[in-house]
Amino acid sequence: MDTVITVENLHTAYGATVAVDDVSFSVRRGEIFGILGPNGAGKTTTVETLQGLRRPSRGRLEVLGLDPVRDADKLRRRTGSQLQSSALPERLRVAEAIRLFGRLRDTPVDVDATLAAWGLTGLRRRAYGTLSGGQQQRVFLALALLGDPELVFLDELTTGLDPTARRATWELVARVRDRGATVVLVTHFMEEAEALCDRVAVVDQGRVVACDTPAALTASTGAGVRVTFTVDGYDPRCLLSVPGVESVTVDGGRATVAGKAEAAVGVAAALVAAGVTPPDYRTHYPSLEDVFLNLTGRRFTEGAQS
């Protein structure tokens, strides 16, 4: 796959404060690339530097074959962006926002078609300040996609949204990629990165501590799968004969079966064969939270900086 972003040894400092420290990664065309880390890890500084909004102290950057500092104007014509601090005037109507930002694009923008594509037709006369958080994010996505940019930067897109609005926004982000754009998604939500991203750079204290697919990152922890359920008269020790099962423990009437990844299917099949269908059956796979703990020795929430 083509490489659309190359970052080599990026370093950005503000006086004695180092925000980004020797960061290197690449982004492939057509993927959703996540930059995941706690607040203050240097994520936003990195993507703002990639867009030419900040000047790096040193390092090599190439975005769509351009230098973000030297070719900032050319780059903006080919990219879309939703910044962490994005906002619009409270009284600006949705259709007016599409029309206004459309004038900044090199290609004509069909306002009605854009509203319809993002489910905004019914909101065209609504003022920005009257929209819900999820509706506002839908507007920002529509603005970011005006002119069909090749590359889209989305920074903390779902912060402040309730779970329902967050998942609806995830569907919209997937649509952005399906329309042919490459997406760089900045987030501190583990579940968001796992659900959306083809690859993830895990950032901590200004450094990339790991970069790979979510599946490869979680596999790297060496942790297996856990299955939990209420015993309710069933003796779970017989599950030790299931291929991949390494241990079975019972505590307070609740069983925990641990083993290799393939054990999950075998345990479920064995329970069904025994006529056991516990309503609280759960399968627990390693998560990106486990990856962060394994790499840094801290829980993700403990990695936040002021």
Blockwise average pLDDT, block size 10, the chain, 306 residues: 92 90 95 92 92 93 95 90 80 93 81 89 94 87 86 87 83 86 92 93 93 89 87 90 94 92 91 92 87 82 46
Predicted pLDDT of residue 141: 84
Every domain of the chain with CATH number 3.30.70 lies at 225-285
| Distance (Å, whole) CA 281 – CA 298 | 29
* Cα 261 from chain centre: 24
* pLDDT digit string, tens, across residues 76-101: 889 988 876 677 899 999 999 999 88
pTM above 0.85, yes or no: no
* E-state strands within the chain: 3-14, 17-28, 32-36, 58-63, 79-82, 151-155, 182-187, 199-204, 207-212, 225-230, 245-251, 254-259, 282-284
SS3 246: strand
Query: Taking CA 67 as the corner, what is the angle to CA 62 and CA 73, rounded to the nearest 5 degrees?
Result: 130
Does domain 3-219 fall under CATH 3.40.50.300? My reply is yes
- Spelled out in words, what is the top-level CATH class assigned to the domain 225-285? alpha beta
Structure tokens at 37: 């880390």
How many residues can be counted in the chain?
306
- Residue 92: φ, ψ to 5°: -70, 125
Alpha carbon distances (Å) from 161 to 2, 3, 123, 168, 170: 34, 32, 19, 10, 11
The sign of the CA dihedral 221, 289, 284, 200 is negative
Give the relative orientation of helices 133-144 and 163-178 as an angle to the nearest 10 degrees: 10
Residues of the chain with CATH 3.40.50.300: 3-219
